């Protein structure tokens, strides 16, 4: 008999008042008992709507069935079959919009905690088992992957499994892309990302760090060096600014800078590490996405007294995951909705004296279908802050498109691809992830990496 | 890992290193830079490529020991390795078509001005060099600059080399004497570059300055290096580092350069403490 409990088995979390001052992982994961309890909630239904909701089509009911049988390594292997990064996805996928959205149990009550079970299986495997060396028959065809974020890692993993000689080029000094520089330690421990990457190394994937494709190495040169296909997964790393007065004052940062200093450079351990991070006492984070939540929660952990999320629309439209918003609130982050910054004030020494904002109200729906925020006349006021972090979005980096003749991009700078094969306007060149879509999610990028690997296999084998 | 194959001390604060980095040497051009990280806990710092040898696969950097990282870098010796070394980053200087140029280097900026003077010389342009230092003991690259310049003028703040004054005094005199430069390239402290831009502004002489901003990745990702040029926000790492000196907002740039001064001192103290413990 399935467990008919209406709600998900809760996941233990660190105490909000303690965790908001450290970088320990917030969500503790299920123990065996909790995992078994949750697994029993899965009805193993015939039409498996959850699988179609997953961009990489993890065989969800099958892996949950393995958990029920206490064959946790078996569960992991089923996930790993279609998903190169189970421990990552179990933590950062927006399951509520994907697999769990379609779960039959969600009709009456809460859906099965698929993400939590995925994390359980992955963590169990990492702790207790070792990947068996699978004998892969090499086909000696060279493929290059540009960027080692979720799209690139997935593409590399699938190609390596099919026998290709895969080289991944990474601009930074550490592989992992946004999983390393962007998503903070307390949501996704870097040790876990490193382990997932090591498992790709074990499959024979070669990682070449410190190589900026578009500068150190050009796409055309990769073909000259014998690569038969190139996958571009260079992400969307170029931060947008608001273009308001005072944005170059000291104490105004792109969220990317703050997150990179803290996550990639381990600035939270300064001066044990060499990279400083400046976060004042009163911090405004402008924007409402997951990056904004990460920047706000990092600011709190760096010792800020007040941290505000400043967003021009309402709680209804806010794009961040509900779970992230909930976690942020529990940690004492204050949400200033329907508020838009108009000017950052100078204290006379080039530092921030405050941020002038206007209040907004929602008008008619705009092109995005969301109600357009409209300024309320005469509502200007000054928010008392000494640090402003801009998290209003990122666009793809121009280095590759500027140095690759014939690579078609759209007006937002995103690479144009055939949506099925992920092939670009150039023969043998594929692209996927944020470089194509603009800033989106880890799992969508992985889906794209997978689709590209499939197309490359079909073309070259 | 990138091997240091040569190390020279140019003056009491300035050192030169040639690093084995064939991929970078293959593509490097005047005006571009690299980013390095000494070791696992190190920070990433940008340094301009001051010379390269494509055949030997070497990239030369010249740096002044001003902060924790450059001091630690200065402690490394020939045969040691630098963990990360990436480039060539930034846009190459646009020197095409220039026939007569005055290249100005202030202090360490001379190390960045030199490859530009050399590139111009190699292209057949007439190059006048003007360099400035606090005193004669700090003069660097005199021989190298002399080789690629028609005339080289060296000024010192204290006059200890017999030529007291600033680079701007010399530039002003050259212009007043009728030298008709296509362009002036000025590289050095922000105050110096601003002063040069003011000297050239009345005659509208094209003036190129190099912005050595705070940056992390050097590929357009962090936004830390943003400078205001002609009222627009630009990233020194991908849009620069060269910009039109008449359009750069130097006030903002100077303020931003001081952003981490206090924390830099903290890292510096730690380095000294570590040094004492090791001694």
Nearest-neighbour CA in chain B from A29: distance (Å): 30
Q: Do residue A271 and residue A198 come from a single domain?
A: no
Are B103 and B205 within one domain?
A: yes
| Chosen domain end from B64, B89, B114 | B89
A290 with A372, same domain: the answer is yes
Q: Verify that B225 and B236 share a domain, yes or no.
A: yes
Place of tokens 């980095």: B21
Domain assignment present for A9: no
Closest residue to B270, CB basis, from A250, A264, A271: A271
What is the ipTM for the molecules in this complex? 0.88
Answer whether B226 sits within 8 Å of A248, measured CB to CB. Answer: yes
Chain B nearest CA to A181, separation (Å): 10
Residue A1 lies in a domain: no
Tokens of B13: 């604060």
Question: Do residue A202 and residue A293 come from a single domain?
Answer: no
Helix (H, G, I), strand (E, B) or coil at A124: helix
The pLDDT score that the predictor gives to residue A366 is 85
**Cβ–Cβ < 8 Å for A214, B238:** no
User: Is B27 in the A-facing interface, judged by CB distances under 8 Å?
Assistant: yes
From A128, A161, A196, the end of a domain falls on A128
Tally of domains in chain A: 3
pLDDT tens digits along B10-46: 988 899 999 999 999 999 998 999 999 999 999 999 9
The answer, yes or no, to whether the previous bond of B65 is cis (omega within 30 of 0) is no
CA nearest neighbour of A100 among A6, A187, A8: A8
- List residues in chain A touching B: CB distance below 8 A: 171-173, 181, 209-212, 215-217, 237-239, 241, 243, 247-250, 253-254, 256-257, 260-261, 264-266, 269-276, 278, 349-350, 397-399
N residues, chain A: 461
Task: Provide the pLDDT confidence category of residue B255 given band limits of 50, 70 and 90.
Answer: confident
Total CB pairs under 8 A between chain A and B: 122
Residues in chain A with pLDDT < 70? none
CA distances from B45 to A212, B6, B35, B39, B218 (A): 16, 20, 5, 12, 9
Q: Is A77 inside a domain boundary?
A: yes
Nearest C-alpha in B relative to A270: B267
Based on the domain organization, do A74 and A206 belong to the same domain? no
* Distances in whole angstroms, Cα of residue B201 to Cα of each of B93, B149, B188: 20, 24, 18
Q: pTM value? A: 0.92
d(CA B25, CA B54): 5
Chain A's closest residue to B229, CA to CA, is A248
Å from A194 to nearest chain B CA?
A: 15
Task: Give the residue from A177, A183, A388 showing the smallest Cα distance to A287.
Answer: A388
Q: Say yes or no: A291 and A204 in one domain.
A: no
Residue A328 lies in a domain: yes
Tally of structural domains, chain B: 3
The per-residue pLDDT for B278 is 45
- B256–A248 C-beta distance less than 8 A: yes
Query: A376 and A272 in one domain?
Result: yes
Q: What is the C-alpha separation between B3 and B113, in angstroms, rounded?
A: 25
Q: Identify whether residues A264 and A364 lie together within a single domain.
A: yes
As a whole number, mean pLDDT of residues B199-218 equals 92
Cβ-nearest to B43 among A212, A254, A274: A274
Of B221, B263, B270, the CB nearest to A260: B221
Among the partner residues A216, A257, A265, nearest to B87 by beta-carbon distance = A216
Give the pLDDT score at A1: 76
B270 in any annotated domain? no
Q: What sign for the dihedral angle of Cα A248, A257, B86, A398?
A: negative
Q: Does B224 touch chain A (CB under 8 A)?
A: yes
Q: What is the mean pLDDT of residues B255-274?
A: 66
Residues B221, A216: Cα–Cα separation, whole Å: 17
A253 and A327 both lie in a single domain: yes
In this prediction, residue A116 carries a pLDDT of 97
A217/chain B closest Cα distance in angstroms:
8
**Chain A positions in Cβ-Cβ contact with residue B217 (cut-off 8 Å):** 171-172, 237, 260
| A25 & A84 share domain | yes
For residue B67, name the pLDDT band (cuts at 50, 70, 90): confident
Chain A residues whose beta carbon lies within 8 Å of the beta carbon of residue B31: none
The residue range of the domain holding A290 is 241-392
| Interface with chain B: mutation pick from A274, A303, A397, highest number of B CBs within 10 Å | A274
Closest chain A C-alpha to B194 CA, distance in angstroms: 18
Could you tell me if residue A418 is inside a domain? yes
| Containing structural domain, residue B100 | 94-209
Contact yes or no for B219 and A274 at CB 8 A: no
Q: Rounded to an integer, what distance in angstroms lies between the CA atom of residue B113 and that of residue B130?
A: 10
Residues B54 and B147 in one domain: no
Helix (H) / strand (E) element for B185: namely strand B183-187
Check if B220 contacts A (Cβ < 8 Å).
yes
Q: Residue A92, SS3?
A: helix
CA distance B149 to chain A (A): 30
Query: Looking at the domain assignment, is residue B274 inside a domain?
Result: no
Tokens linked to A114: 């698929």
As given in the structure block, the two tokens for residue B172 are: 């002003």
Report whether A304 contacts A283 (CB < 8 A).
yes
For B95-153, what is each residue's pLDDT tens digit?
A: 999 999 999 999 999 998 999 999 999 999 999 999 999 999 999 999 999 999 999 99
Q: Spell out the SS3 assignment of B219-252.
A: CCCCCCCEEEECCEEEEHHHHCCEEECCCECHHH
Q: Count other C-beta atoms under 10 Å from residue B41's C-beta.
A: 15
**H helix and E strand count, chain B:** 9, 15
Distance from CA of B25 to the nearest CA of A (A): 9
Which residues in chain A are closer than 8 Å to B219, comparing Cβ atoms?
171, 212, 215, 237, 397, 399
The answer on B226 and B181 residing in a single domain is no
Of A173, A209, A215, the CB nearest to B89: A215
The token pair at A310 is 């400043």
């Amino acid at each position: 008999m399935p467990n008919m409990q209406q709600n998900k088995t809760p996941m233990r979390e660190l105490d909000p008042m303690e965790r908001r001052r450290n970088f320990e992982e917030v969500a503790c994961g299920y123990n065996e008992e909790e995992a078994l309890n949750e697994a029993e909630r899965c009805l193993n239904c015939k039409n498996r709507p959850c699988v179609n909701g997953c961009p990489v089509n993890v065989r969800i009911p099958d892996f949950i069935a393995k958990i029920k049988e206490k064959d946790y390594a078996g569960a992991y292997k089923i996930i790993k079959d279609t998903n190169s990064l189970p421990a990552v996805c179990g933590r950062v996928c927006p399951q509520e919009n994907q697999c769990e959205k379609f779960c039959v149990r969600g009709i009456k009550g809460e859906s099965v905690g698929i993400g939590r079970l995925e994390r359980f299986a992955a963590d169990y495997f990492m702790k207790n088992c070792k990947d068996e060396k699978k004998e892969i028959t090499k086909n000696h065809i060279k493929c290059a992957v540009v960027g080692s974020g979720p799209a690139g890692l997935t593409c590399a993993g699938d190609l390596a499994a099919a026998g290709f000689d895969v080289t991944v080029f990474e601009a930074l000094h550490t592989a992992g892309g946004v999983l390393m520089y962007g998503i903070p330690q307390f949501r996704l421990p870097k040790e876990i990302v490193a382990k997932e990457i090591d498992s790709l190394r074990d499959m024979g994937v070669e990682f070449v760090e410190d190589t900026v494709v578009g500068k150190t190495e050009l796409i055309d040169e990769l073909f000259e060096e014998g690569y038969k296909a190139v996958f571009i997964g260079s992400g969307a790393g170029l931060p947008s600014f608001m273009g308001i007065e005072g944005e170059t004052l000291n104490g105004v940062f792109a969220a990317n800078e703050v997150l990179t200093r803290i996550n990639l450079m381990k600035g939270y351990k300064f001066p044990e590490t060499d990279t400083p991070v400046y976060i004042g006492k009163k911090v405004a984070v402008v924007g409402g996405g997951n990056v904004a939540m990460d920047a706000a929660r990092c600011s709190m952990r760096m010792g800020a007294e007040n941290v505000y999320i400043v967003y021009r629309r309402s709680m209804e439209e806010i794009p961040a995951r509900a779970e992230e918003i909930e976690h942020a609130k529990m940690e004492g982050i204050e949400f200033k909705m329907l508020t838009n910054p108009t000017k950052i004030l100078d204290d006379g020494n080039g530092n921030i004296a405050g941020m002038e904002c206007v209040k907004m109200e929602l008008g008619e729906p705009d092109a995005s279908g969301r109600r357009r925020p409209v300024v309320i006349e005469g509502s200007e006021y000054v928010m008392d802050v000494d640090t402003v972090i801009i998290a209003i979005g990122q666009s793809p980096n121009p280095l590759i498109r500027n140095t690759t003749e014939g690579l078609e991009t759209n007006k937002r700078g995103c690479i144009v691809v055939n949506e099925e094969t992920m092939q670009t306007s150039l023969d043998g060149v594929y692209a996927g992830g944020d470089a194509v879509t603009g800033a989106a999610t880890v799992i969508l990028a992985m889906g794209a990496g997978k689709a590209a690997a499939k197309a490359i296999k079909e073309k070259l084998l | 890992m990138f091997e240091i194959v040569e190390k020279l001390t140019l003056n009491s604060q300035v050192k030169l290193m040639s690093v084995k980095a064939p991929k970078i040497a293959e593509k490097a051009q005047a005006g571009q830079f690299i980013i390095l990280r000494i070791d696992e806990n190190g920070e990433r710092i940008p340094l301009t490529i001051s010379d390269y040898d494509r055949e030997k696969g070497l990239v030369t950097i010249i740096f002044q020991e001003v902060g924790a990282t450059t001091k630690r870098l200065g402690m490394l010796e020939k045969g040691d390795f630098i963990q990360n070394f990436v480039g060539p980053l930034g846009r190459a200087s646009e020197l095409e078509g220039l026939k007569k140029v005055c290249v100005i280097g202030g202090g360490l900026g001379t190390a960045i001005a030199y490859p530009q003077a050399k590139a111009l010389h190699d292209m057949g342009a007439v190059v006048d060099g003007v360099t400035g230092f606090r005193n004669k003991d700090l003069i660097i690259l005199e021989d190298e600059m002399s080789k690629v310049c028609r005339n080289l003028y060296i000024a010192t703040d204290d006059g200890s080399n017999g030529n007291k004054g600033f680079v701007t005094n010399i530039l002003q005199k050259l212009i007043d004497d009728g030298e008709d430069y296509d362009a002036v390239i000025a590289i050095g402290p922000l105050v110096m570059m601003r002063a040069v831009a003011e000297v050239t502004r009345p005659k509208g002489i094209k003036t190129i300055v190099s912005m050595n901003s705070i940056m992390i990745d050097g590929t357009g990702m962090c936004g830390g290096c943003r400078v205001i040029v002609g009222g627009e926000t630009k990233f020194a790492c991908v849009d620069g580092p060269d910009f039109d000196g008449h359009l750069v907002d130097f006030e903002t740039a100077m303020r931003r350069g001081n952003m981490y001064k206090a924390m830099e001192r903290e890292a510096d103290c730690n380095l000294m403490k570590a040094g004492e413990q090791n001694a």
